[in-house]
Amino acid sequence: MSTTVKIPATHLETGSRQVGRPLERIDAKGKAVGSTRYAGDYVMPDMLHAKVLRSTVASANLRRLDVTKARALPGVVCVLTGADVPKHMVSTDIPGQTGSWGQNTGQPILVHDRVRYFGEPLALIASESRDIAERAMTLIEPEYEPLPGVFDPIEALKPEAPLVQGVGNVVASQMVRKGDVKHGFETADVIVERVYRTQFIEHAFLEPEVGLSWIDENDVINIHVSTQVIEHFRVVADAVGLPYNRVRIRGALVGGGFGGKEDVTVEIYLALLALATRRPVRLEYTREDSFVGHGKRHPFVMTYRTGVKNDGTITALEAKFIADAGAYVFLSPSVMVYAATAAPGPYKIDNLIADAKAVATNNMYTSAFRGFGAAQACVAYEQQMDEVAKAIGMDPVKFRRKNYMRAGDRTATGVVVPSAIWTEQCVDQAWTALGEPVEVSGPIKIGRGVAACLQGYGRLTSLHDTSEGWVGVERDGTVTVRSGVTDIGAGQVSALAQIAAEVLGVTLQDVAVYNSDSAVTPLAGTTTATRALYMTGNAIRQAAEAVRRRLAQRAAKAFNVPPDDIDMAFSKVFVADDPAQSMAFRDLVRICAAEGIHCSELAMFCAPFTEKLNPETGQGQVHPDFSYGAHAIELTVDTETGEITVIKSVGAHDVGRAINPAAVEGQIEGGAVQGQGYALSEEMIYKEGRLMTPSLSEYLIPTAMDVPQVKCIILESGSGLGPFGAKGIGEAALTPVAAAIANAVADAIGVRIAELPITPEKVVNALREKE
C-alpha cells in the first residue's frame, strides 16, 4: 500500500522505461510455484549427514570430551573435536570482498579447552543418516569444570568480573567528540536524562542455516550454502588451510538473512567434514540449532543526556552506549562505529559526546542485524526527542523540525552529506498520513508516536568496498548479467535485471541473471549494510552502459548520425528524433559480433575509500551516504490488561530513486513489522547464559493477526549515490519503527517504558507505579 511522491522534474532522468516501475520480480514466479531451489534442496550420491554438538554450559573448562562411543556407533563416519583442528580459528570479523581491520573473532572453530557461551560448538559428526548423527550426539560425553561466568555487560566492566575477552572485557569501543559539550550544557535551560534498554534479538529468518559440501575432480571444496556472503570462501580457506582458489562457494536464493547469515554459518564445518571424509556432506540446522548457533542483535544500555533551550534548540548531547558483545568479538567493532556515529540521529547537534563500548560476557555472541547499532541508537535518540519536547512543553514534531540536520550541515563526524536530507518531508508525511484517530473508550487508550532516522548505506568507507559485475548481450537480443551478489529476498537480483534492461532498452524478461558463485560470477561483495543495490547496481549500470556505448557507436555509423543521437528501447535501436530510422537490437548485436566489437563488459564500482575515523575524536567519513526516513504509529493500549494493538503503521522514506517501487514497499512493510516485533514481543531470554526461548513458540515474531496493513510513502529526491540516484532502504525501513511505537505507548498511557520489549506486563506495572 503506498502513495508515491513524484520526483521534482529537475531530477527526472529521461528515457526511464524499466527503472521506476513496480514490475513483477524475476524470482517471484519460481518461488510461487515451488520450483525455486534453496541451498537445502540439494543432495548428492553418497552424501553424509552432519550435526554440530554444542556446549550445554556457558562458562567452563572442557576437561574431557569422550567421543569413543560415538565413533564406534555403526553408521558414524567421522567425529571431529577441537583436538582435530587445534590451530583453526574463525579467522576474520570483517567478512566480504575487501578491507580488513585485521581483527580476529578469537573463536576457535571447535572448543579446545575453554567454553565461553552456551551453545559453543564442541564436535562435528558426519554419518550415513540424520538419525544416526542425532544418536551419536547423545553418546558424546563432555566433562566440564564449571567456571564463574558473567552475564551482564555492566557487571562485566567491574574489576572483579571474570575475564571473558579483551582488556577488562571491553572488546570494542568508539568515541565521537564534537564541539564543547560542557559549554553546551551550561547554556541549556533544561537537561533531560534517561537510560534506555534494548534486548537480544533473533533474526528468525524462515530458512535455517544449511549447506552441502563436496570435493570436486580438481580438489576444490565446493560449498552450496545459504549465505549473505559468498566471499567467505576466503574465511573457509584460511580456516582449513587451503589456497583461496581451492574453495568455491555457490550461493542460492536465500530464505532470509537480516544480518544473521552475514558471519560464517555452516561453511567451515562442511569443509572440515568433506576434507576428513572425502564424501559429500550436508548440514542443516534445526530451528533450535539456528537459534542457539548464530549471533544476535546486541542488547544496548543507552544513557542519553540532552541540553535544550526553552525555544527548542538543542545545546548539547551526551550519549553512552554499553552493548553486550557476548563471548566473542565478531562484528562488534563495526556495530560500535555505527551506534556512536548515529548517536544524535538526523539532528544538528554541535556539542556532542558519544561513547560506545562492546563488552564481553558469557552470553551468546552478538553481531550483525538489520540496522547494525544505528537501529539501537534510534530507539534511544527518538524516545529522548519526545521526552525533551515534553520537558519544554513543545509539540514533538515541531521540536524535531527545529533541530533537523539540513543540507550543508555537518554530521556527528564532521562530514557534509553528499545527498538530499529529507527528514522533514518524511516525518511530516508519515505523521499526516495517520489521519483521523480511531475512536476509543473506557480502559482503552489511544496513542500516537513518530520517529525519524538516519541510516548509512554502503559499508564503512574505511573498508574500501568494491563490486564487480558483468553484462553481455546475446545474438538473439537477450541480455546476460553475471554478479556474485547474493539475493536474500529483497529482490537484489531482479533489480540488476531491471537496471540492465533499462540501459540496454530491453524488457525485464529479456534479461537473465547468473549470480552468487564465488568461482564463476564476478565478486560483487556482501549483501549486507544496505549496499547491494548501491554497489552492485552501480557496477551493473556501468557495465551495461559500456556495452551500450559500443553498440550505439556502431548503430550511429549505420544511420550516419552522431552516437549521442542513438536511443534504445523496446528491443529496437533508433535515431532518437527520427525513430523511423531503426533496426532490431538483435540485428545490431549480430553486426557487432561479426565485426569483433566487444559485446560484453566487466565493470568495477568503488565506494569512496577513506581512512578509519580519527581515534581521538571520531571525526571523519563513516559511510558513503545516508538514507533518511520516518515512521509513524497509532496504537491502542488496554490499561487493564496491558495489551497493545498497533492500528496504523506508516513508513515514509526518501529512497532517492525507487528502482522497483513494489520492492521498496516490501522493504518498508517488512521493516515495519520486524520493528514492531522488536518493540513489543521479541526477546531472546538468557538465564545465566542459557537460552530460554529456543523456538518460534517462545520467541514471538509478529503473525498476520498482530499487525495492520502497513502504509508506505516513497519519496524520491533522486540524490542518492546508487544507480539512477537511488539510496538504500533495507535497514532504514526498520530503524525508526520501535522508537515510534515506544513513543506512541508513552503518549497513550502517560508514562514511558524505556526498556524493550514493551510487554503487557510492563505496561500494567508501569501504570500501577504511576498510581
Partner 1 sequence: MREKAIVFEVNERQHCTTIPSHRTLLEVLRALGYVDVKCGCEKGDCGACAVLVDGEAIDSCLTLAWTVEGRAITTVAGLGNSNNPHPLQAAFARNGAIQCGFCTPGVIIASESLLRKTPNPSDDEIRFALSGNLCRCTGYTKIFEAVREMVLTRSGGVLR
Interatomic CA distance for residues 692 and 683, integer angstroms: 10
In the three-class reduction of DSSP (H, G, I as helix; E, B as strand; rest coil), residue 217 is classed as coil
Question: From residue 678 to residue 707, what is the string marking binding to partner 1 with x (rule CB under 8 A)?
Answer: -----------------xxx---x-xxx-x
386 vs 665, which CB is nearer to partner 1? 665
The answer, yes or no, to whether the previous bond of 757 is cis (omega within 30 of 0) is yes
Shortest reach from residue 105's CB to partner 1, in Å: 26
Angle at which helix 737-749 crosses helix 661-680, to 10 degrees, equals 50
Q: Which is nearer to partner 1, 22 or 99 (CB)?
A: 22
Among the listed residues 1, 154, 438, 520, the single contact to partner 1 using CB under 8 A: 1
State the binding string over 491-520 for partner 1 (x if CB under 8 A, else -): x-----------------------------
Count interface residues toward partner 1 (CB under 8 A).
57
Q: Which is nearer to partner 1, 9 or 704 (CB)?
A: 704
**140, 235, 254, 354: which one binds partner 1 (CB under 8 A):** 254
Distance CA 435, CA 615 (A): 47
Short-list 373, 297, 363, CA closest to 327? 363
Helix (H) or strand (E) holding 177: strand 170-178
* Residue pointed to by grid coordinates 546508487: 722
How far apart CA 520 and CA 514 sit, in angstroms, is 9
Question: Which is it for the CA torsion 33, 35, 41, 45, positive or negative?
Answer: positive
Closer by beta carbon to partner 1, 249 or else 673: 673
CB of residue 491 vs partner 1: minimum separation in angstroms? 7
d(CA 422, CA 436): 25
In a 10 Å sphere around its CB, with 0-12 CB exposed, 13-18 middle and 19+ buried, how is residue 608 labelled? middle
Q: Does the protein bind partner 1 through residue 46 (CB under 8 A)?
A: no
Site string for partner 1, 176-205 (x = CB under 8 A): ---------------------------xxx
Residue 256 binding partner 1, by CB under 8 A: yes
Q: Which is nearer to partner 1, 266 or 673 (CB)?
A: 673
Candidates 38-46, 240-248, 444-452, 758-766 — which segment interacts with partner 1 by CB under 8 A? Answer: 38-46
Secondary structure (DSSP) of 25-45: PTTHHHHHHT-PPPGGG---T
Which CB atom, from 221 or from 737, has the smaller least distance to partner 1? 737
Q: Nearest distance from residue 258's CB to partner 1, in Å?
A: 7
By CB under 8 A, tell whether 30 contacts partner 1.
yes
Instruction: Say how far apart CA 510 and CA 568 lie, in whole Å.
Output: 14
> DSSP class of residue 534?
I
Rounded CA-CA distance 258/375 in Å is 13
Among 96, 106, 208, 722, binds partner 1 (CB under 8 A): 208
- For residues 739 and 163, what is the distance between their CA atoms, to the nearest angstrom? 34
**What is the distance between the alpha carbons of residues 162 and 169, in angstroms, rounded to a whole number?**
8
Residues 640-679 that bind partner 1 (CB under 8 A): 662-663, 665-666, 669-674
Q: How far is the CB of 117 from partner 1 (least distance, A)?
A: 23
Our finding on whether 211 is near partner 1 (CB under 8 A) is no
Q: Among residues 8, 16, 29, 750, which is the contact residue for partner 1, using CB under 8 A?
A: 29
Stretch that binds partner 1, among 248-256, 354-362, 462-470, 543-551 (CB under 8 A): 248-256
| Residue (of 574, 502, 563) closest to 537 by Cα position | 502
Q: Which stretch binds partner 1 (CB under 8 A): 279-287, 390-398, 497-505, 540-548?
A: 279-287
**What is d(CA 601, CA 590) in angstroms, rounded to the nearest whole number?**
17
Q: How far is the CB of 617 from partner 1 (least distance, A)?
A: 39
> In a 10 Å sphere around its CB, with 0-12 CB exposed, 13-18 middle and 19+ buried, how is residue 408 labelled?
exposed
**Minimum distance from CB of 404 to partner 1 (Å)?**
27
Give least dist CB 677 to partner 1, A.
9
For 419-465, strand residue ranges (E) read 444-457
* Residue ranges binding partner 1 (CB under 8 A): 1, 22, 24-25, 27-38, 40-41, 203-208, 253-258, 284, 286-287, 488-491, 662-663, 665-666, 669-674, 695-697, 701, 703-705, 707, 709-710
